[in-house]
Structure 1
Amino acid sequence: MTGVFLDATTLISLGSIDELELFRDFSGELIVLPAVKSEVGTEPARTNLQRFIETHDIQEEGLEYAQQVPRAMSVLEESARNGDVEIIAAVLAYRAEDRPVGVVSDDRRVRTTADAFGATVTGTIGVVVRGVEAGISKDDGLDIVERIDARGLHMTGELRDKAESLIQEAAEEI
């Protein structure tokens, strides 16, 4: 089964507008690592994340990736263990066992590194597009993008146009 690691960037973006349910459209095991969870400190994202974890089968612990932490720290040029390091360490551990792995993050460095190590990567907009592909309406998808933009992601005009285009394409394919 694919492990899908959720990063704080997307948890905060979607948690701030109470849209974490969109993650349920992913196939695979959703995983929120302890260091990532601790980085979600803003409200209402923190409370919404806690509720999401409690009401769904979200993996939080018991994963073996500690042996990959030094390599992840080196690759990311980090001097301390944090959520980014743990996600990359987990990706390295999964790939070392030839297991499929995904990462959901808006952090360019995490996305680029995870992709380079063979993870499937997407971000907040990809989560919304997947939601449209799974059946939410195009208008609801566009509304979610607008609410994300208003609550803190603050998209560039180019990203907003791309999001709208991807949502439109996803709606047409249904």
Structure 2
Amino acid sequence: MSRIYVGPTAVYSLGQVGELSLLTSFDGDVVVPKPVREASAVEPTVTNLDELLDGDDVRAVTEADADIERAQRLLGEKDVGTAAAVIAGVLARRDSDDRSAVAVVSEDRTVRQMCRGLGAQVTSSFGVVVRATLEDKYLSPRQAKRIVRRIDQHGMHLTGELRERAVGEIGD
């Protein structure tokens, strides 16, 4: 079964607009590394994340110390940050007996590039909205476009070109 690691930027952007449940549109085990959960300290993201984790569809995980240390070395970081926690998950999955797909949801450029280089599929919170629209018959393109605009207004500012691309991928 595939595993999808969610980074802090995606937790923040989807949590601020009350749309973290869109993460459940993925086929696979959706996880939020514990350092990401701990770093999510802004309301309403905290409340929305707690509600999501109280359900059975998404869980918080801690990766092995050895994987965290490897991720820190790759990043050149000394503390266990959220980036190291996400990358450690990709490393752990890559080295496991179950080499099924691994994906990362993040807007962080460094995390995205490193995870892509490690063989993970990478998407953003906007990609989550697009996927949910395509996979879920209950989320209409009109609703998805509103969600993209709300995310854009709550801090994950897109250039006009990127916003139109995200909205365009949703279709009509």
Is the CA contact 2:71–2:85 (under 8 Å) kept in the aligned structure 1? yes
| 1:23 Cα deviation after fit | 0.7
Report the counterpart of residue 9 of structure 2 in structure 1: 9
SS at match of 1:130: helix
Report the counterpart of residue 143 of structure 2 in structure 1: 140
Report the counterpart of residue 128 of structure 1 in structure 2: 129
Point out 4+ residue stretches in structure 1 off by more than 3 angstroms.
Answer: none
1 CA distance for matches of 2:20 and 2:130?
Answer: 14
For structure 1, which runs of at least 5 residues remain unmatched after alignment?
Answer: none
| 1:56 Cα deviation after fit | 3.0
How many residue pairs match? The answer is 168
2 CA distance for matches of 1:23 and 1:57?
Answer: 9
The amino acid across from 1:48 in the alignment is N
C-alpha RMSD over aligned residues: 1.3
SS at match of 1:102: strand
SS at match of 2:154: helix
SS at match of 1:32: strand
1 CA distance for matches of 2:64 and 2:170?
Answer: 35
2 CA distance for matches of 1:77 and 1:157?
Answer: 34
Report the counterpart of residue 33 of structure 1 in structure 2: 33
Provide Cα deviations, 1:108-166, integer angstroms capped at 9, x if missing partner: 11011011001111111100100110221111111001111111111111211211121
1:1-174 correspondence to structure 2 within 5 Å: 1-61=1-61, 64-97=63-96, 98-134=99-135, 135=137, 136-168=139-171, 171=172
TM-score with structure 1 length normalisation?
0.91
Is the CA contact 2:24–2:58 (under 8 Å) kept in the aligned structure 1? no
2 CA distance for matches of 1:150 and 1:108?
Answer: 20
- The share of aligned pairs that are identical, in percent, is 36
SS at match of 1:92: helix
For structure 2, which runs of at least 5 residues remain unmatched after alignment?
Answer: none
1 CA distance for matches of 2:92 and 2:55?
Answer: 27
Name the stretch that deviates more: 149-158 or 137-146.
149-158
Is the CA contact 2:17–2:151 (under 8 Å) kept in the aligned structure 1? yes
2 CA distance for matches of 1:85 and 1:73?
Answer: 6
TM-score with structure 2 length normalisation?
0.92
Is the CA contact 2:24–2:57 (under 8 Å) kept in the aligned structure 1? no
2 CA distance for matches of 1:102 and 1:121?
Answer: 6
